[in-house]
Amino acid sequence: MIRQFLARRRVALGFVSGVAVVYLAQPTWRWLALGAVVALIGQAVRLWAAGHLEKSREVTSSGPYQFTRHPLYAGSSIMALGVAVGCRSAVVAVVVLLYMAATITAAIRGEEAFLRERFGDAYDAYAESRGQRVSRRFSWERAWRNKEYRSITGLILFLAALAGRALWR
């Protein structure tokens, strides 16, 4: 099924899209700085979420999960917006929008199906904002266990590639 393909291959597709985006980018230092600020806000949202998430162990409802069911994807979407801004290209904006719409939608559907299968009524109650709220503190160890360092590293490398592109222009 196409949804499963997109959900499972979104990171690999992201690398391919990322190469195309860097090639098509027309960054200036001003636009790159603005885009980096937006992307860093998105990364902060992801980090906050990863520091609360007990992946596959529970229906997490602390931290940003009390405001949205998918804060990691919300953070990724904000990061993508930052990338599009930093690239200063309408073509790149379209590529980023298409990539995000296809892969995030597929990932969310797959993840929600998994959570409903694994947690049943507890996930449905959470999704309908009637579930029990759990309060816990942010944990760097939890964020590390959830491999958020990958997203941070990817953002740094991508911004460095855009900076190289700005220099090359």
**Residue 149 · residue 9 · CB < 8 Å:** no
- Please name the residue that has the structure tokens 């911004």: 159
Q: Does the pLDDT of residue 10 top 80, yes or no?
A: no
Q: Does the pLDDT of residue 107 top 80, yes or no?
A: yes
Q: How far from 79 is each of 51, 61, 107, CA to CA, in Å?
A: 18, 23, 17
How many domains does the chain fold into?
1
Q: Does the pLDDT of residue 132 top 80, yes or no?
A: no
Among 11-15, 24-28, 55-59, 104-108, the minimum mean pLDDT is found in 11-15
Among 46-60, 64-78, 125-139, the minimum mean pLDDT is found in 125-139
Distance CA 102, CA 6 (A): 7
Closest CA to 61 of 107, 117, 122: 122
**Residue 83 · residue 161 · CB < 8 Å:** no
Give the domain range for residue 35.
2-168
**Residue 48 · residue 138 · CB < 8 Å:** yes
Token reading at 86: 């930093």
3 state DSSP class of 136? coil
**Residue 36 · residue 86 · CB < 8 Å:** yes
Q: Does the pLDDT of residue 11 top 80, yes or no?
A: no
Mean pLDDT for 43-67 is 95
Q: How far from 8 is each of 25, 54, 125, 133, CA to CA, in Å?
A: 27, 20, 27, 30
Distance CA 85, CA 70 (A): 23
Mean pLDDT for 41-68 is 95
Q: Does the pLDDT of residue 9 top 80, yes or no?
A: no
For the whole prediction, is pTM greater than 0.75?
A: yes
pLDDT at 49: 98
**Residue 131 · residue 61 · CB < 8 Å:** yes
Distance CA 39, CA 110 (A): 25
Q: Does the pLDDT of residue 45 top 80, yes or no?
A: yes
Mean pLDDT for 56-62 is 91
Type of residue at 159: L
Mean pLDDT for 60-83 is 95
pLDDT at 108: 93
Provide CB contacts within 8 A for 74, sequence distance 6+: 42, 45, 64, 68
